[in-house]
Amino acid sequence: MTGELAIKNLHVQIEGKEIIRGLDLYVKQGEIHAIMGPNGSGKSTLALTLMGHPKYQVTQGTISYKGQDLLALSPDERARAGLFLAFQYPFEVSGVPLSRFLLQAVKARAPETKAQSNGRPVRRPLGQFRKLLHEKMEILKVDKSFAGRYLNEGFSGGEKKRVEVLQMLVLQPEIAILDETDSGLDIDSVKIVAQGVNSLRGPEFGALVITHYQRILNYLKPDFVHVMVKGRLVKSGGSELAEELEERGYDWILQEVGAASTESAEEKGADPDERS
Amino acid sequence: MISTQLENSLSRSRIEALAQARHEPAWMLSRRLEAREAAHELELPSSRYTQVRGLNLAELQPVGLDLEATSADAVGAKRALPLCDSQDQTDGLLIHLNGRLVHSELQAELAHQGVLFMDFAAALAEHPELIERYLLRESPELSDKITALQRALTGGGVLLYVPPNVEVQRPLKAINLLTEENIGLFQQVLIIAEPGSRVSYVEELGSLDRQLETASAYAGDTRVYVGQAARVDVAGVQNWAPQIFNFSRRQGRLERDGRLRWTFGWLGGRLTLSQVESRFEGPGTQVEDVQIFFADGRQHFDLVSNLIHSQPHTQGKVTVKGVLKDKAKAVFWGRIRIDPEAQQANSFQSERSLMLNEGPRSVAIPSLEIEANDVRCTHAASSSQLDQEQIFYLMTRGLNENQAKKAIVDGFFEPTVRQIPLASAQEQIRALVDRKWQNLPAEV
């Protein structure tokens, strides 16, 4: 069965302030969706809410994956259900070596992967894990010495982003959310990271890529591009939409959907497909 | 005078009799008697943050004073040995069970080279001059009742002597087990590293998983002499049963270019008072003092580290790191003194604690006394809570909340554990932290 991450009429608050205001989105395994949009439109809030960050409060709507209510699950249960988030600002965890941590994460996820029995290895002995890790490090051109370094501690911004993708490649999620993974990366790094993501592409891998730039999308070739404004998806299309945004910016969309920010347009804003 | 266990043991005639039975030199007897007098006058140790409560001192039975071998020793050894059997390679092993030596070994080649690694009581009878020369050299002041009792009623302990230029490759280990209630274990450890020598001494204090109904007390005095250009590691892991009161006092004295590294892991016991004093008595001396603690329940650790720089070009570094939970309490006194002659001293101390909930208390009291003008001397102290963002980040990778917290705690300790010079002590501290964590309820 192809899994579908289904987000319906999502409303999210932080400290009493509504950030996401009626958002619908469906991401199936095998599909790549891009979300673009001006700063402050709620993209990171969406990413963190999908993983269950305790500060974000869902006041309305539902999030489910494979029919399972994700809102009832803790972040680790969501991870084990197949979700992954590459953080925009990964946290440093001092004293926790990357490889030891990843091995623990792989083990923590193992029982669920067994249940799915997608032909993936269920439990990897240590040697196999090391081999997998080194393989993935090679794809992302991450130096092997990083395996023994403490998680994100003293990493440059670019190294942190690559290591986020490295974690994704090792953990092999079904649905990955990449929150501005390309921000702050040089041209070569964007390409490497995109290659990493592409290495997972296939019928079992879906992704939600949050970005400000078309560049990474040139490599990822998303199936769908959505524009998020003020907590809603206001426009959706194919790759060509990203190109248009790169050329023309967001102003024209803001004008086009200017009414969307008023109360009367709330219902219409919830269905971006009709708009485009 | 109320006749109690302790009073009986402290009687003049009892002390004279035991000194005779143990074939102790005369100076040892006068030392005991002097301390006996002081024990009657001095109070229990205390500070603004630490009081000794719940220890019925009068009912303690001092152990390890009677040297006659008993059949119980063999039984004790049989019981203790397999449990102490550590994977790490040692060049010598001493095991004391409730104050009695039950096992002793030393690599033959080292013995041949003149290395002594033996029970302190036996050493007193066999090598009185050696002990006299060092033990009586400027003895630390008897500051409280416990230090006086320890000196008056010294039972067993350890003598470690390394002749000039002898390098002991692998650690020498002393295991000290306290498994009985209402006993007082008063021990003396004396480590003498002659010029150019090298040695690692590892001490383990534990209770073989015994839970005691009523309190027992351990008081240990450790004196370390680091000769010219000698290098000494002293590591100690304290994992007593929860009812044990621990009083440790350690002093290291270094001669020119000597190096001393202290490493302590504090996990068990009810109340721990520890003093570590490092005296830089020669130029070019270096001391590192690394202490790790993990306190839960109502455990209380009061740790003192004292660096006394009296000579130029000396380096001291103190790192204390602890995790606290429940209603535990930790007090760290970091003292640095730099005498006027001790120019170019470099002295640093840091104390960091991590709280797992709202209940515990951690206090750091630095005190710097600097009389030289060309020195570097710094201290840092911090106390933090578990970071919810870090927990979330780790959970998004599939670790449950408990695993995520444990990973952060391990990570908090890890860089400091890696500084521990002895691999075996590193592993042991990691393992004990694991065990202690597992005893904790799932939601911390």
What DSSP string describes chain A? Answer: ---EEEEEEEEEEETTEEEEEEEEEEEETT-EEEEE--TTSSHHHHHHHHHT-TTEEEEEEEEEETTEEGGGS-HHHHHHHTEEEE-SSPPP-TT-BHHHHHHHHHHHHHHHHHHHTSS--SS--HHHHHHHHHHHHHHTT--GGGGGSBTTTT--HHHHHHHHHHHHHHH--SEEEEESTTTT--HHHHHHHHHHHHHH-BTTBEEEEE-S-HHHHHHH--SEEEEEETTEEEEEESHHHHHHHHHH-SHHHHHHTGGGGSGGGHHHHT-HHHH-
Measured distance CA(B123)–CA(B135) in Å, rounded: 12
**Neighbouring-strand partners of residue B101:** B96
- CA distances to A2, A77, A100, B400 from A72, rounded to whole Å, are 21, 9, 29, 15
Cβ atoms < 10 Å from Cβ of B53? 11
Segment among A91-100, A198-207, A245-254, B118-127 with least mean pLDDT: A245-254
DSSP state of B167: B
Cβ contact (<8 Å) for B396 and A75?
Answer: yes
Nearest residue to B315 via CA among B288, B350, B276:
B288
Beta B116-119 vs B157-162: how paired, if at all? antiparallel
Output the pLDDT for position A44: 96
Closest CA to B174 of B114, B242, B112, B116: B116
Q: Which domain holds residue A45?
A: 4-91+173-275
pLDDT of residue A111: 61
Torsion of CA A62, A67, A69, A73, to 10 degrees: -140
Tokens representing A147? Answer: 């395996």
pLDDT in tens, B285-311: 999 999 999 999 999 999 999 999 999
Is A3 exposed, middle or buried (CB count within 10 Å of its CB: 0-12, 13-18, 19+)?
buried
Q: Is B415–A95 a contact, with Cβ atoms under 8 angstroms apart?
A: yes
Residue of A nearest to B406 (CA): A96
C-beta atoms of A95 and B414 within 8 A: yes
Using the Cβ of A160 and the Cβ atoms of chain B, whether some distance falls under 8 Å is answered with no
Res. B193: pLDDT tops 60:
yes
Closest residue in A to B389 (Cα) is A91
Q: What is the pLDDT of residue B138?
A: 81
Mutate to test the interface with B, among A76, A160, A164, A165 (most CBs of B within 10 A): A76
**Which token pair is B363?**
């206090």
pLDDT of the residue at B3:
57
Torsion (CA) B199, B205, B209, B211 in degrees, nearest 10: 180
Give B174's strand partners. B94, B203
Chain A residues lying within 8 Å of B392, measured CB to CB:
51, 53-54, 75
Q: Which residues of B touch A78 (CB under 8 A)?
A: 396
Phi, psi of B184 (to 5 degrees): -115, 120
Whether the per-residue pLDDT at B180 is higher than 70: the answer is yes
CA distance A95 to chain B (A): 4
- Is A52 contained in some domain? yes
Q: How far is it, in rounded angstroms, from Cα A63 to Cα B111?
A: 72
Asked if residue B110 is part of any domain, the answer here is: yes
pLDDT exceeds cutoff 50 at A113: no
Which residues in chain A touch residue B410, judged by CB atoms under 8 angstroms apart? 95-96
Exposure pattern of B319-342 as b/e (b: 16+ CB <10 Å)?
bbbbbbbbbbbbbbbbbbbbbeeb
DSSP secondary-structure letter at B91?
S
For the ranges A57-66, B57-66, B419-428, which has the lowest average pLDDT?
B419-428
What residues contact B196, with CB distance under 8 A and at least 6 apart?
B164, B165, B227, B228, B229, B230
Whether A150 maps to a domain, the answer reads: no
- pLDDT of residue B2 exceeding 60, the answer is no
Smallest CA–CA separation between A276 and chain B, in Å? 34
Instruction: Report the chain A residue with the minimal C-alpha distance to residue B416.
Output: A95
CA torsion angle B394 B400 B403 B406 (round to 10): 70
Q: What is the pLDDT of residues B224-236, one digit of tens each?
A: 999 999 999 999 9
* Model pLDDT, residue B420: 82
**For residue B293, which of B414, B206, B413 has the smallest C-alpha distance?**
B413
Q: How many residue pairs bridge chain A and chain B with CB atoms within 8 Å of each other?
A: 82
Rounded Cα distance, B397 and B444, in Å: 20
Q: Is residue A74 in some structural domain?
A: yes
Spatial contact of B425 and B202, defined as CB atoms under 8 Å apart:
yes
Q: Which residues, in sequence order, are CB contacts of B255 under 8 Å at separation 6+?
A: B195, B226, B227, B228, B230, B281, B282, B285
Q: What is the pLDDT of residues B12-26, one digit of tens each?
A: 999 999 999 999 999
Identify the burial level of B359 via C-beta atoms within 10 angstroms of its C-beta, where 0-12 means exposed, 13-18 middle and 19 or more buried: middle
Query: Which are the contacts of B441, defined by CB distance < 8 A and separation ≥ 6?
Result: none
Q: At a CB cut-off of 8 Å and minimum separation 6, what does B83 contact?
A: B208
pLDDT of residue A4: 96
Distance between B330 CA and the closest CA of chain A, angstroms: 22
Instruction: Note whether A23 and A33 are within 8 A (CB).
Output: no
Q: Is residue A36 part of a domain?
A: yes
**Cα–Cα distance for residue pair B287/B299, rounded to 1 Å:** 28
Average pLDDT score, chain B: 92
Beta-bridged to residue B378, according to DSSP, are B348
**Does residue B64 register a pLDDT over 50?**
yes
Residue B241: pLDDT over 90: yes
Comparing alpha-carbon positions, the chain B residue that sits nearest to A94 is B411
Give me the mean pLDDT over the B119-141 stretch: 93
Number of separate domains in chain B: 1
Question: Given CB atoms, is A150 within the 8 Å cutoff of chain B?
Answer: yes
Q: B321 vs chain A: nearest CA distance in angstroms? A: 13
Both tokens of residue A141? 């051109």
Helix (H) or strand (E) holding B36: helix B26-41
Given a cut of 80, whether residue A276 has pLDDT beyond it is no
Domain of A189, CATH number, reads 3.40.50.300
* ipTM, 2 dp: 0.90
In which band, very low, low, confident or very high, does the pLDDT at B69 lie, cut at 50, 70 and 90? low
Scored b (16 or more CB within 10 A) or e, A79-92 reads: bbbbbbbbbbebbb
> Reduced to 3 states, what is the DSSP secondary structure of residue B440?
coil
Q: Which residues contact A101 (CB under 8 A, 6 or more apart)?
A: A93, A151, B394, B397, B407
Within 10 A of A236 (CB to CB), how many other CB atoms are there? 19
Q: B26: domain range?
A: 5-388
CA–CA min distance B414, chain A (Å):
5
Sorted by sequence, the CB contacts under 8 Å of residue B438 that are 6+ apart come out as none
Read out DSSP for B182-206? TEEEEEEEEEEE-TT-EEEEEEEEE
Structure tokens at A28: 């199936």
Q: Is the pLDDT of residue A270 over 60?
A: no
Give the residue from B208, B273, B308, B324 showing the smallest Cα distance to B55.
Answer: B273
Q: What is the pLDDT of residue B236?
A: 94
Residue-level pLDDT at B65:
85
Helix pair A157-171, A98-116: axis angle to 10 deg: 30
Residue B364: C-alpha distances to residues A96, B16, B59, B296, B383 (Å): 26, 43, 34, 18, 9
**Cα–Cα distance, B399 to B408 (Å, whole number):** 11
Q: Which two tokens stand for residue A260?
A: 């969307």
Structure-token match 């500084």, residue found? B419
Question: Which of A252-256, B18-22, B250-254, B325-329 is least confident?
Answer: A252-256
Chain B residues touching residue A167 (CB < 8 angstroms): 397
**Closest alpha carbon within chain B to A51:** B396
Percentage of residues of chain A with pLDDT beyond 90: 76
Q: Cβ B408–A96 below 8 Å, yes or no?
A: yes
Q: How many structural domains compose chain A?
A: 1
CB A234 within 8 A of CB A261: no
The answer to the question of residue A122 being in a domain is no
Q: Is residue B415 part of a domain?
A: no
B218 three-state secondary structure: strand
Tokens representing B303?
């740790």
Interface test with A, best of B389, B396, B401 (most A CBs within 10 A): B396
Smallest Cα distance from B391 to chain A, Å: 9
If we measure between CA atoms, which residue out of B332, B291, B300 comes closest to residue B429? B291
